[in-house]
Structure 1
Amino acid sequence: ANQQTKITAKFRRAHPNEFDERRGVERCPVVSVQMPPTPDQHRFYSALLFELGAPHNAAAGLASLERLARDILKRMSPQMLIVDEVHHLLAGTYREQRASLNLLKYLANDLQISMVLVGTRDAVLALQTDPQMVSRYRPFEIPRWRESDSLRRLLAAFERVLPLRKPSDLSRREIVQYVLEASGGLTGAISTILNDAAELSIRNGDEFIGISHLERVAREHA
């Protein structure tokens, strides 16, 4: 999920807000919001308004927050709404799940924009309770790395850019297998482990990444 959230954030940075001087409003091509830890409509709209930079009273009624969020979204004319952590739907009761799914369908239909739902595999389970959601959203899974020439090239590329004075030979099998196991094959986790290991190596004066560095940072992240 962390890798998916990072991808979402990177996509959001690539599509920044723009000020429309003619209309005097800020255009927001991509809006991104996280589903609350429990599928609560009130908290969802409050989080959405926060992401939109809209001052509001979080204690206001659901209808007021919904109306304000819709009005602002229509003025900002986004082309896409990204809802992250959709698997949080499963933390609620069946009634809460249905209400939140209806909320997402309502927003997509009302605003006539593309909606992208992001989450773990459990997110697919959450959507399968609604036939309309199943037909509307096609699952796309981020593949995990496996031991391969492509992964070895990735680790070799990391070695070229890490600020270490001595060679680490990150593409050797021992390193590849350990990084793969510690990261679960996720690109974001691989990057974090290697960067943390490089930082540890520099602090220790070693200036290269070995298994001992990787083991130590992996324990710290466990």
Structure 2
Amino acid sequence: MQRGAAEKSTRRPDARRLCTTTRGQYRYDEHRTLNSPATEDGRTSPSALCEVALTLIASSGVRQILIDEAGNLLNAGRSTQQQSLAFIKAITNRGVTISIASTMNLVNVLAADEQLQSRFTRVEIPMWAESESFRSFLASIELELRLPQASGLSDQAIVRWLVSRGCCTTSRVLEVICNAKRIADSQGLARIDIRLLDIALSHGYVGEGTRHGDF
């Protein structure tokens, strides 16, 4: 019993589900175990964790990975950035497709590595501008909201308000309008107007209990 207990205590807890913090430090799930090389302070080395992740990706049959908010990699030090990029390159070497959602800052970092740059096709998300297509898009959103009264989201005043406030991507437009809809519901209002859109843009969804005169 004593020998078994001693052997168990030498096993290092490690991750089968890996993630990176905004500082670029690796953390792990202690519910799994793995015998792998450790650093001097007793932590499993990042390179060993990457090898574990590559093994798990291969064994689980993953064919595609989407990395959202990949710009957070830039918050880490240069060494960790290079490790992360090398890890991405290693994944693509295994035949796994990677899609990265980020800003131009990370695009420029990837462009500095010829091998990485050649593995990605750049696709830019179009920005909405004042146009018939944008008005049609807003009108279709309003139909889905099913408010008691028409809000006129496709009216010129609201279209120009959205564009002037930088709400020019689909995700941002939906976020602001959906938050305005929640505020309208919580206040018992029958429609969305620019005042509610302004609150939604400035404060997000302020939750139940908000009243018409709170802002």
TM-score normalised per structure 2: 0.72
Counterpart of 2:88?
104
Counterpart of 1:156?
139
The structure 2 residue matched to 1:206, chosen from 189, 192, 199, is 189
TM-superposed CA distance for 1:34, in Å, is 6.8
Counterpart of 2:22?
37
| Aligned pairs for 1:63-82 within 5 A | 63-82=47-66
- In 2, the alpha carbon distance for the partners of 1:34 and 1:157 equals 38
Runs of 5+ unmatched residues, structure 2: 1-17, 35-41, 206-215
Tell me whether 1:92 sits opposite 2:69 in the alignment.
no
Residues 67, 100 of structure 2: 8 Å contact kept: yes
Residues 179, 204 of structure 2: 8 Å contact kept: no
Residues 50, 87 of structure 2: 8 Å contact kept: no
Counterpart of 1:184?
167
Residues 35, 86 of structure 1: 8 Å contact kept: no
Counterpart of 1:124?
107
The one of the two structures with greater contact order (alpha-carbon pairs below 8 A, sep at least 6) is 1
Deviations for 1:131-168, whole angstroms, at most 9, x for unmatched residues? 11122212211111111111101111111111311111
- Of all paired residues, the percent bearing the same amino acid is 24
Residues 66, 101 of structure 2: 8 Å contact kept: yes
Counterpart of 1:172?
155
Q: State the one-letter code of the partner of 2:32.
A: P
CA RMSD, 1 decimal: 2.8
- In 2, the alpha carbon distance for the partners of 1:91 and 1:199 equals 34
Q: Computing the radius of gyration over CA atoms, which structure comes out larger, 1 or 2? A: 2
Higher normalized helix content (fraction of residues): 1
Deviations for 1:72-118, whole angstroms, at most 9, x for unmatched residues? 21111111122233223332343333232222112221x22212222
TM-superposed CA distance for 1:172, in Å, is 0.8
Between the two proteins, the alignment pairs up a number of residues equal to 181
| SS of corresponding position for 1:155 | helix
- In 1, the alpha carbon distance for the partners of 2:157 and 2:104 equals 30
TM-score normalised per structure 1: 0.70
Tell me whether 1:133 sits opposite 2:110 in the alignment.
no
TM-superposed CA distance for 1:63, in Å, is 4.4
